[in-house]
Amino acid sequence: MGLSRRLPDPLQVRLLRLLRDEGPLSRAELGDRLETARTRLLAEIDRLAAVELLVEAGPAVSRGGRRSTLVELNPRLRFAGVDLGATSIDVEIVDARMEPVAAFSEPADIRTGPRPILQRVNELLQKGGGRLDAIGIGVPGPVSFRDGVPVSPPIMPGWDRFPVRELLSREHGCPAVVDNDVNIMAIGERHGGVAHSVDDFLFVKIGTGVGCGIHLGGRVYRGSDGCAGDIGHIQVDPSGPVCSCGNIGCLEAVFGGAALAAQALEAAQSGASPALAEQLTAAGTLTAHDVAVRAAEGDVASIQLIREGGRRLGSVLASLVSFANPSMIVIGGGLAQLGHILLAEIRSVVYRRSLPLATGNLPIVLSELDSRAGVAGAAVLASELTFEQVL
Amino acid sequence: MGLSRRLPDPLQVRLLRLLRDEGPLSRAELGDRLETARTRLLAEIDRLAAVELLVEAGPAVSRGGRRSTLVELNPRLRFAGVDLGATSIDVEIVDARMEPVAAFSEPADIRTGPRPILQRVNELLQKGGGRLDAIGIGVPGPVSFRDGVPVSPPIMPGWDRFPVRELLSREHGCPAVVDNDVNIMAIGERHGGVAHSVDDFLFVKIGTGVGCGIHLGGRVYRGSDGCAGDIGHIQVDPSGPVCSCGNIGCLEAVFGGAALAAQALEAAQSGASPALAEQLTAAGTLTAHDVAVRAAEGDVASIQLIREGGRRLGSVLASLVSFANPSMIVIGGGLAQLGHILLAEIRSVVYRRSLPLATGNLPIVLSELDSRAGVAGAAVLASELTFEQVL
């Protein structure tokens, strides 16, 4: 059998993950943690040291018997995480332990198209300095994970099937991986956030629209066409407003950044909210952020808008809880700032509507990593790529 | 490392599955199909032959070079599949190739409790004759797959946490596995039915209630508490009837065997359906089956009831398609007999409501195995147990 047909070695991947997440360990500790025979483990360590993924890291504390030295991931490993939003580029370069060594964040309009946007991504990655071992990138639309390309992404004109992975990989001479933005946020939250070590959870992103990252059995579930989690177009109101997708009463048409801004405008113009009317006069425009600020200040109409949105989102999540029986729901994205009014409403609906068995132990919590979730997850995905590709 | 800590060997499991599903193969064919080095494969075959799981099966057709002999699963292997319904016991005993060698089916009320029901299961299994290698059983309620017990099953009084697996295992001296009835139907349909080799699909069972088996990434997904797929209590009509669970307008409260029977009664008594009224007078009662028969005969009110139900179920499935992006939906269970009127309505709603990317290639089809899906799947689950437990 040729090396080219070798499948990813579960021991290899488990060993590298353990060192990434826990830092230097002795060979004895590794043997215990990985439940692996000593000879096989030592051979594996030698093999990974030979390709410079592992290095010795000084003597371990003695447990009696032979002295042991610590093993760690090569501290010179560098992974890049890129999070493309509708209106932003976020980049983080991390070391072998997933600690940031450089970070950049700037506005950018995804509709400018793939060449100028990826050109800028390349510049930021080069600003980070030094050679990269792998790149992970998330984009705000459906992705063919296998092909490394966006697929008919509604808000990304010009990106359909653009070879994002190939371009990044060629430019930086390292492997790259492309995923949906919500999926990388879920990965980030599971690795270093509130969903740490949780196998089955939903990450609900509330931004301009609404999306859901699905983590099942310890892995991201992407669906048969890569568009799993597209919950923004679930119908919540058959007599509701027309959605941008052409259907009636989708979740996104009644809740999310765009819907809230439209509802705020209506509340300001109808006189329902003098506070929002004042803001509109002052700024000439209203955003979902304004609703959050006014609600925090006690504006009744703004609180009502958030509650109503929470009720709509909650009813969708209640259905998904009955279906998927997750052990946690994480709420993230720019509008997670709507905070506790939103969370209280979502909880109330989900706990009332879903089965007792499914909600008996179901925390519904805010994202911990917040705006870093995307880049952190993309970098973790990049490291996994390296761990699986070693021969 | 002791043998007791050995993890299931992917090669071992893949090898045994291949022989189960394709029958006798030569060592050369096995090497090709499993992409495994010859020495490792031969050692594995010897090991599995030593524990009498594999046997030689005569000479293979020569491919030039050394003569090769065929290898097959021991034809004396016997697996049992048991499907407990609300009102029935179905048992099938199959051989190593999953071909039935004995089958029994009889009415039984699950509410009689675990001891009499399992006593009868034991008698039927013994009637099958001979030693069993493993037993799979499905029950109509939530299950802790890990513990092998039902958990708070609503329609199974007395079964909560009853040690079903332990009792069967002890009685027959072989390993046993307990799962939810919809999950075993999904497994059956994937192994020998319309979902053959499909990795991501939903199996929707329409019986007295409505449930969903979720097959993702090639495996049953059970959720964090084992109650994933409980879609019967998703709210479809906030102003609908009260459900047996106490909530308002659940899917089961408006569609399913029980709901259809109630709606048929109303249609008969209100004069909306003279055909159903006639049936009610003749039989004294109405069932969902009567609605199916009258609809097939052209009764407009009966057709309307099925269409309305299909529309309700379709709207739930549309949401689940957006969420899970499956590559197939299989409709099964006793009321799949509602057939093409139901199917047409479900398809119409799902194809109209879900994202084009998710429905571009999404067959929505009837179960092929029909009432055999459960026992067939339970037997497959039993065989997997054997394949994974060999040391």
Minimum-distance CB partner of A152 among B1, B352, B357: B357
B283 pLDDT band, cuts 50/70/90, is very high
Which chain A residues are within 8 Å of B199, Cβ to Cβ? Answer: 224
Closest CA relative to residue A197, chosen from B218, B224, B200, B217: B224
Which ipTM value was assigned to this complex? 0.85
Residue in chain A lying closest to B202 (CA): A323
How confident is the model over A330-385, as pLDDT tens digits? Answer: 999 888 777 789 999 999 999 988 777 777 789 999 999 988 999 999 999 999 99
pLDDT digits (tens, 9 = 90+) for B183-201: 999 999 999 999 998 999 9
Shortest alpha-carbon distance between residue B6 and chain A (Å): 9
Note whether A133 and A35 are same-domain residues. Answer: no
What pLDDT is recorded for position B9? Answer: 64
Looking at B73, B95, B127, which one is the last position of a domain?
B73
Q: How confident is the model at residue B64 (pLDDT cuts 50, 70, 90)?
A: low
Give the CATH number of the domain where residue A39 resides. Answer: 1.10.10.10
Distance (Å) of CA A321 to CA A128, A186, A212, A357, B243: 41, 17, 13, 10, 18
Q: Is B34 on the interface with A (CB under 8 A)?
A: no
B332 pLDDT above the threshold of 80: yes
Question: Of A73, A89, A111, which closes a domain?
Answer: A73
Check whether residue B209 and residue B300 sit in a common domain. yes
What is the model's pLDDT at position A66?
Answer: 61
What is the pLDDT at residue B1? 28
Instruction: Specify the pLDDT at position A391.
Output: 56
pLDDT tens, B78-94?
A: 999 999 998 899 999 99
Q: What pLDDT sits at residue B63?
A: 61
Contacts of B351 (CB under 8 A, 6+ apart): B359, B362
- Over the stretch A242-277, which tens digit does the pLDDT of each residue have? 988 888 999 999 998 999 999 999 999 999 999 999
Which tokens hold the place of A264? Answer: 């705020």
| Boundary of a domain, candidates A20, A48, A73 | A73
> Is there a single domain that holds both residue A40 and residue A159?
no
Same-domain status, B117 and B133: yes
The residue type found at A103 is A
**Six-digit token string for B46:** 């010897």
Q: Which of residues 138-167 of B touch A (CB under 8 A)?
A: 142, 151-152
Domain span at B17: 3-73
Could you tell me if B284 and B227 lie in one domain? Answer: yes
Count of helices and strands (H, E) across chain B: 14, 15
Identify whether residues B183 and B95 lie together within a single domain: yes
Q: What is the pLDDT of residues A82-125, one digit of tens each?
A: 999 988 999 999 999 999 999 999 999 999 999 999 999 999 99
pLDDT in tens, A294-343: 998 999 999 999 999 999 999 999 999 999 999 999 999 888 777 789 99
Give the number of domains in chain B. 3
Q: Do B327 and A37 touch (CB under 8 A)?
A: no
Task: Classify residue B131 by burial, with Cβ atoms within 10 Å: 0-12, 13-18, 19+.
Answer: exposed
- CB-CB under 8 Å, B1 with A37: yes
Q: Are residues A339 and A363 in the same domain?
A: yes
**Any bridge partners for residue B332, and if so which?**
B205
- Write the pLDDT tens digit of every residue in A195-231: 998 999 999 999 888 999 999 988 899 998 888 999 9
Chain A contact for B87 (CB, 8 A cutoff): no
Q: How far is B38 from chain A (nearest CA, A)?
A: 9
Q: What is the pLDDT of residues B129-174, one digit of tens each?
A: 789 999 999 999 889 888 999 988 888 999 999 999 999 999 999 9
Query: Which chain A residues have a beta carbon less than 8 Å from that of B151?
Result: 357
Q: Summarize pLDDT for B244-280 with one digit per residue, the tens.
A: 888 899 999 999 899 999 999 999 999 999 999 999 9
Residue from B221, B355, B359, B364 whose CB has the most chain A CBs within 10 Å, to mutate: B355
